[in-house]
């Protein structure tokens, strides 16, 4: 079980600028929730000019609470459930505000939703959203510890129902994330002794997207991360990530990041 939150910037376009503009941090949930929750993510901002943040979404559901206010705990708070996003996510922040988010592990939202997570894919639903009641009080108020405790209490009250299929989906999705040699669904299924059709059903039901999409998204996030780090041989990277040629990688990168690899690399430098 992870003892500290991830410290990578995978999926965040131009993370250095983001850290200059806003106060971003991650916290782990209560230990009893770590089977399903990757981390909590908190953002506070006080901006003189609008700031647009762009994110290549993970194959994960997020529950997000946002408050635009004067820095006190008095402003209205909106909550929503964000399913797996297929497209580049953009948000423009202005003035003063804060966000408190829960990023579930891929597959980890199923015990809370108690239905196919594919229902949420590509959608953002306000709370209450079907089977999820609103919190009793504000989530984004007070210190980081106050916010973490409020999120712990909310998720615990939603009473997740564990099941073996969820744990299998989480384990397989994590294997794709951490092993960059995973490039093809059939090879991955054979390696883990899971029939391809069952793997596809498992991911659709519990993650919200198929295993091929998850593989491609994680490999593209690696490409984005490497592009921000310095000059690349794109032909070699395309081969490493399982693409048939460089042009195919460039097309996918441009589609998911909103700009070409070369333009993105120039912008972050």
Give the Å distances, CA to CA, from 85 to 60, 107, 118, 184: 8, 14, 11, 21
Say if residue 39 is in the same domain as residue 144.
yes
In a domain, residue 208? The reply is yes
Task: Place 207 in a pLDDT band, splitting at 50, 70 and 90.
Answer: very high
Say if residue 168 is in the same domain as residue 132.
no
Provide the number of structural domains found in the chain. Answer: 2
Say if residue 152 is in the same domain as residue 222.
no
Mean pLDDT across the chain? 90
- The pLDDT of residue 39 is 97
* Averaged pLDDT, 87-100: 94
- The pLDDT of residue 108 is 97
Instruction: Name which of 99, 13, 94, 86 is nearest 47 in CA terms.
Output: 94
Q: What angle do CA 55, 58, 63 make, to 5 degrees?
A: 85
Of the three residues 157, 192, 208, the one that is the final residue of a domain is 157
- The pLDDT of residue 1 is 61
Say if residue 27 is in the same domain as residue 152.
yes
Say if residue 205 is in the same domain as residue 113.
no
Task: Place 75 in a pLDDT band, splitting at 50, 70 and 90.
Answer: low
In a domain, residue 6? The reply is no
Task: Assess whether pLDDT exceeds 80 at residue 211.
Answer: yes
Of the three residues 103, 130, 157, the one that is the final residue of a domain is 157
Say if residue 253 is in the same domain as residue 224.
yes
Least confident of 136-145, 158-167, 232-241: 232-241
Say if residue 124 is in the same domain as residue 186.
no
Percentage, residues of the chain above pLDDT 70: 94
Say if residue 153 is in the same domain as residue 176.
no
Say if residue 193 is in the same domain as residue 250.
yes
Distance, C-alpha 248 to centroid of its chain:
24
Return the higher-pLDDT residue of 213 and 262.
Answer: 213
Contacts of 3 (CB under 8 A, 6+ apart): 28
Say if residue 243 is in the same domain as residue 191.
yes
In a domain, residue 227? The reply is yes
Is residue 226 within 8 A of residue 237, CB to CB? The reply is yes
Q: Helix, strand, or coil here: 180?
A: coil
Query: Domain range holding 220?
Result: 164-268
- The pLDDT of residue 238 is 87
* Averaged pLDDT, 194-220: 96
**CATH at residue 220:** 1.10.10.60
> pTM, whole model, 2 decimals?
0.92
Task: Assess whether pLDDT exceeds 60 at residue 55.
Answer: yes
């Amino acid at each position: 079980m992870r003892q500290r939150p991830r410290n990578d910037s995978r999926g965040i376009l131009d993370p250095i600028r983001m850290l200059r503009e806003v106060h971003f941090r991650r916290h782990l949930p209560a230990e009893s929730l770590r089977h399903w929750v990757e981390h909590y993510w908190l953002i506070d901002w006080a901006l003189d000019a609008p700031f647009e943040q762009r994110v290549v979404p993970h194959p994960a559901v997020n529950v997000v609470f946002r408050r635009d206010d004067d820095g006190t705990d008095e402003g209205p708070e909106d909550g929503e459930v964000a399913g797996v996003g297929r497209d580049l996510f953009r948000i423009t922040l202005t003035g003063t505000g804060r966000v408190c988010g829960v990023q579930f592990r891929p597959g980890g939202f199923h015990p809370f939703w108690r239905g196919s997570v594919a229902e949420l894919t590509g959608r953002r639903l306000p709370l209450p959203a079907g089977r999820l009641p609103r919190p009793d009080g504000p989530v984004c108020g007070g210190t980081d510890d106050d916010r973490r405790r409020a999120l712990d209490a909310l998720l615990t009250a939603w009473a997740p129902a564990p099941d073996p299929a969820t744990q299998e989906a989480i384990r397989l999705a994590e294997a794709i994330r951490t092993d960059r040699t995973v490039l093809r669904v059939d090879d991955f299924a054979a390696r883990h002794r899971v029939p391809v059709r069952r793997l596809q059903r498992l991911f659709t039901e519990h993650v919200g997207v198929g295993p091929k999409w998850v593989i491609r998204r994680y490999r593209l996030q690696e490409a984005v991360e490497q592009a921000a780090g310095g000059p690349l041989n794109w032909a070699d990277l395309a081969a490493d990530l399982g693409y048939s040629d460089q042009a195919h990688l460039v097309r996918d990168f441009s589609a998911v990041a909103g700009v070409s690899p070369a333009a993105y690399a120039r912008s972050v430098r």
